[in-house]
A and B are shown apart, each in its own frame.
Chain A
């Protein structure tokens, strides 16, 4: 039998609701109560309106543009309707697009894995060995609060070929050739950017995972200790399953952000050398603002939006899963 569980002490019994409404009517007077009731959702209107005009409008315009040949650089390309030709070209014929897409996927997969493993490990260390967590966190959080542009700038300085501080020490320990520089070598530049992203965002994983660890109930752990479980067993069979929703959340949020990565690469390499670091967002930027091929650029921009939207939907489900709302119905 399925029994509905009452949500946050709110009563859904029709009787109670009716009585409450009746109460309001008698207290505020009839029109006052009606106004009060009708007005509340109206408070949403300004917010929604702003987003519709400034974000949804341009977005729909972009979708429309992606079906045309609009270009600011070529003659006679003033927005003739093409149907899905741009998308067909993009998916079937554009090798650079698929190169960028592959790079982006590789970037997201490696960066998110790396940040998660490092961040979780650091969170566990802090959780078990540090009493004054606030101080440690304050210092640890510095990288992720910096503007990504500033992060790009900082690492550009550190990795300069002739006088960069990190370059110097890499050469000192023999990891880098004297004629070589990290950011101008096609083999080392993408791993370098991945490490820089990990430098900036690992603290985020640590912060969230630590919050997760601190919010766990004590009882399962006490029970496990009573049953004679060893620390590794406890970690595998108690800690990890309890943290699973938060792990999913962290991975998704980082994946979405990593997928949109633009600022740091723009400053560090601009997509180069060649197209070695031309992730999707950089490629779209080039199509729109270097080639001024707006129709085709819009089609490729839509691809980014699509992936982010899918990740968003998964994130939303994950949030709900965590709060257990779909499972409010007891078995």
Chain B
């Protein structure tokens, strides 16, 4: 195609990228501005950065435990989902039994279930167990969608491994469990890693379950965000600092899983 078209297309794409990135960059800049710069009538793009907001909000206002809670909840959820989900995915990929596809559909509906429609009874259930307001409540709640994600994604990764490998492993004297644990799982390791990171991201970003299930002790970072917005005099520098800490790790992680992102977000329907 002609050079003119090409220049035009590249121009449009650059504009798209600018629109995609500027809002987050603005948040980053705001987290480094003094109050005066942040609230200026005319947007300030060049300024002398200050790092005062980060220690203020994380140490003085004790938002640091929230970071810890987020890390704890996301990692334990991921571990739990993998522990339960990977064997299930293997069965789906390699074994036939009655009602298999119906059960698979059940996993899909749990992944899609709107949190708002189950969070109230879940809250009541967890209160009965006495685990509301602990990270465990959020971990269990997040496991519901992450477990299904693992089952859906890993089924695809296991299905990609040729069946001849199974037979070779059995020939080599592995038991069926040994074949699964020592041969198939290592072969699916790249997919496993991507799935794990995606689970972590989904849990880290989740809001509604965490917001309803924990009020004080087990709060995650996303739950802490609304508390910073007050009708009068929101301290935007500190809000921005929290938002940056809540989003920066995820941006870095997403670069690692980019290759498998399509698959993860389309439930294995499209292989990226």
Contact = CB atoms under 8 A, between A and B. Distances in A.
Interface of A: 8-10, 24, 27-28, 32, 36, 39-41, 43-44, 46-48, 50-51, 54-55, 57-59, 61-62, 65, 122, 125-126, 128-130, 134, 136-143, 145-150, 153-158, 162-163, 165, 168-169, 199, 203-204, 207-208, 211-212, 215, 246, 249-250, 253, 256, 259-260, 262-263, 266-267, 281, 284-285, 288-289, 294, 297-298, 301-302, 304-305, 308-309, 311-313, 315-316, 319, 322
B226 A267 contact: yes
Contacts of B183: none
Interface stretch (B52-60, B61-69, B82-90): B82-90
A308 B114 contact: yes
A251 to B, nearest CB: 12
Contacts of A262: 115-116, 207-208
A158 B271 CA distance: 36
Contacts of B110: 51, 55
A308 B113 contact: yes
B163 to A, nearest CB: 7
Contacts of B12: 125
Given A155-B23, A305-B114, 16 more contacts: A8-B163, A39-B177, A54-B122, A54-B143, A61-B124, A142-B24, A147-B250, A148-B205, A154-B23, A157-B26, A208-B270, A215-B270, A249-B266, A297-B120, A301-B118, A313-B105
A267 to B, nearest CB: 6
B117 A304 contact: yes
Nearest to B94: A40
23 contacts: A36-B176, A43-B90, A48-B106, A50-B84, A51-B148, A55-B144, A58-B125, A61-B124, A62-B117, A125-B13, A150-B205, A150-B243, A154-B27, A157-B239, A157-B240, A163-B38, A163-B41, A262-B115, A262-B208, A298-B120, A302-B117, A305-B117, A315-B108
Nearest to A28: B175
B265 A204 contact: yes
B118 A62 contact: yes
A50 to B, nearest CB: 6
Contacts of B16: 122, 140
A125 B43 contact: no
Given A39-B177, A145-B251, A208-B265, A47 B117 contact: no
A106 to B, nearest CB: 18
Closest 10 CB pairs of A and B: A58-B121, A147-B205, A43-B87, A301-B117, A47-B88, A61-B121, A145-B254, A36-B176, A129-B9, A305-B117
B117 A284 contact: yes
Contact of A289 (B140, B212, B243): B212
Given A43-B90, A249-B269, A62 B177 contact: no
Interface centre among A41, A153, A158, A266 (most CB of B within 10 A): A153
Nearest to A289: B212
A289 to B, nearest CB: 7
Interface in B203-230: 204-208, 212, 222, 225-226, 229
Contacts of B50: none
B39 interface: yes
Nearest to B222: A149
Interface string B195-209: 000000100111110
A147 B222 contact: yes
B153 interface: no
B141 interface: yes
A214 B101 CA distance: 29
A223 B207 CA distance: 50
A259 B115 CA distance: 12
A154 to B, nearest CB: 5
A58 B132 CA distance: 14
Contacts of B151: 47
A161 to B, nearest CB: 12
Interface string B87-102: 1101100110100000
A55 B209 CA distance: 12
A201 B209 CA distance: 22
B95 A41 contact: yes
A165 B44 CA distance: 9
Interface string B142-181: 0110011001000000000001000000100001110000
